[in-house]
Structure 1
Amino acid sequence: MTTLRWKKSTRSNGGGNCVEVARPSQVVMVRDSKDHQGPVLSFDAEQWVGFVQGIRAGEFDV
């Protein structure tokens, strides 16, 4: 079994509100940095690009 290499966002604020990302192959996996045993979201490359573009365009701003 391969151990995933999780990376925390360089923009994390240090207050615990962070996500971590791993890319084991053709998918991108995302999890809460405080809950390593919790749920993991999985995106294929096209979905990930669309998600990142949406973030940059402000589509998810509250």
Structure 2
Amino acid sequence: MEAPEFRKSSYSNRNQNCVEVADLPAGAAVRDSQNREQGHLSFAIEEWRAFVDAVKGGRL
């Protein structure tokens, strides 16, 4: 498996508090840009969609 290609999340702020996200074949991965060496969390597509919908809907 290839390493995920992370990008800065559009929901990150400008004060260097960044979350990076990568698309995976079956979902998404997220990591802290300040602590990349600590790895990432992977989410199934259904979990990721529910999270993004909650953020967009102001429920988080």
What is the RMSD computed on CA atoms of the aligned residues?
A: 1.7
Matches of 1:43 and 1:26 in 2, distance apart?
8
The 4+ residue runs of structure 1 with deviation greater than 3 A are none
CA distance in 2: counterparts of 1:40 and 1:31, whole angstroms? 5
Unaligned 5+ runs, structure 2: none
Alpha-carbon offset, residue 10 of structure 1? 3.4
TM-score (norm 2): 0.80
Q: What is the CA-CA distance between 1:4 and the residue it aligns to?
A: 2.1
1:9-30 deviations in Å (ceiling 9; x for gaps): 2343331111001123212100
Q: Partners in 2 of 1:11 and 1:23 — Cα distance?
A: 16
State which structure, 1 or 2, has the greater radius of gyration over its C-alpha atoms: 1
How much identity, in percent, do the aligned residues show?
38
Question: What TM-score, normalized by structure 1, do the two folds share?
Answer: 0.78
Tell me the equivalent position of 2:5.
5
**Count of residue pairs brought into register by the alignment:** 60
Determine the structure 2 residue equivalent to 1:22: 22
